Amino acid sequence: MLNNKTILITGGTGSFGKKFTSRVLEEYNPKKIIIYSRDEYKQFLMQGKFREHYKKLRYFIGDVRDEKRLYRAFDGVDVVIHAAALKQVPAAEYNPIEAVKTNIHGAENIINAAIDKGVQKVIALSTDKAVNPVNLYGATKLVSDKLFISGNAYVGDKDTLFSVVRYGNVSGSRGSVIPFFKSLIDSNETVIPITDSRMTRFWITLDEAVDLVIKAIQEAKGGELYVRKCPSFKVTDLAKAMKEDCEFEDVGIRPGEKLHEVMVTEEDSRTTYEYDDHYIIYPDFDWWENLNNKSGGKKVEDRFRYSSDNNKQWLSVEEIREMLKTIDIVY
């Protein structure tokens, strides 16, 4: 499926890009992997990490805002994984036009370049924040998702396919709650600030995120939005798992923050099907034929909602403690 393919990853020096690159090199025999990103120093570090695979890897300095550069980079590419984004919520609120340029205009540029350069498949990474967005970052990612889904109607008689993969904050990733709590604990803080004691989140690891993207590459026919099933946890239980005798202080929800993560809305339930380890939201357009639906799925009930507060799977404090031992925490 990825053997002898040329793969390009936008934002490829990030946590996902490095993990995806590592997995593909371990499990497949790609023709070439192109790391497309803006930061030459991160590319330098990645070159060192993957030096034994130098014949398979290429590093392109580029920005998704630069359509001409994308056209050159996409030449001969079979699969594109779009992971680049301006994604820090406070930064997007303070720099809204920059977020629009990267997350919306960047998506438009990728769609145009992929179609014109004959890319076979594009998988765009999304976020829970794109669902009923309450901040600018989420709003730009919602538009981005819509652009990629509708890109399948935009292709005309070309063969490029676009699909989306949605998941929440990866456990232990930079900017998430786990490294924040750990930094406080390492500083011998005795009180852990909790924005709201009712808050819940999904637990997903980098490997699970990569699994879902690989699944989408394997089977997507263009227009699907994939959502992985994940266990939920209470943020207070996470704090207890990291420091058993800690005290909490409710400090209030930050601007742009949600009480719970939502992956599938009630409105999406009309076209959502459940599979063993994931959901697929199929496009609600005339051009999509139900014959394209993946077999083995069961349509969810009307008004179904998949969110971290109404999940069937929950992690206990002890289970969280054990899972913390298996992840890398990125500061």
The domains found in the chain, sorted by start residue, are: 6-168+205-229+265-306 (3.40.50.720)
Q: pLDDT grade, residue 25 (50/70/90)?
A: very high
User: pLDDT value at position 33?
Assistant: 98
pLDDT, tens digit, for every residue of 146-167?
999 999 999 999 999 999 999 9
The chain-wide mean pLDDT, for the chain, equals 94
pLDDT, tens digit, for every residue of 36-47?
999 999 999 999
Active-site residue identified among 18, 42, 129, 258: 129
Instruction: Concatenate the DSSP letters of all residues of 136-159 into one string.
Output: HHHHHHHHHHHHHHHHHHHTTT--
User: pLDDT value at position 256?
Assistant: 83
- 194: helix, strand or coil: strand
Q: pLDDT grade, residue 190 (50/70/90)?
A: confident
Average pLDDT over residues 167-193: 88
pLDDT, tens digit, for every residue of 233-282?
999 999 999 998 888 888 998 888 899 999 999 999 999 999 999 999 99
User: pLDDT value at position 233?
Assistant: 96
pLDDT, tens digit, for every residue of 83-141?
999 998 889 999 999 999 999 999 999 999 999 999 999 999 999 999 999 999 999 99
129 is catalytic: yes
What CA–CA distance (Å, rounded) separates 78 from 185? Answer: 45
**Per-position b or e across 6-41, b if 16+ CB within 10 A of its CB:** bbbbbbbbbbbbbbbbbbbbeeeebebbbbbbbeee
C-alpha distances out from residue 143 to 174, 241, 254, 260, Å: 24, 37, 23, 21
Angle between helices 136-154 and 106-116 (to 10 degrees): 20
- Give the N- to C-terminal CA distance of the chain in Å, as an integer: 34
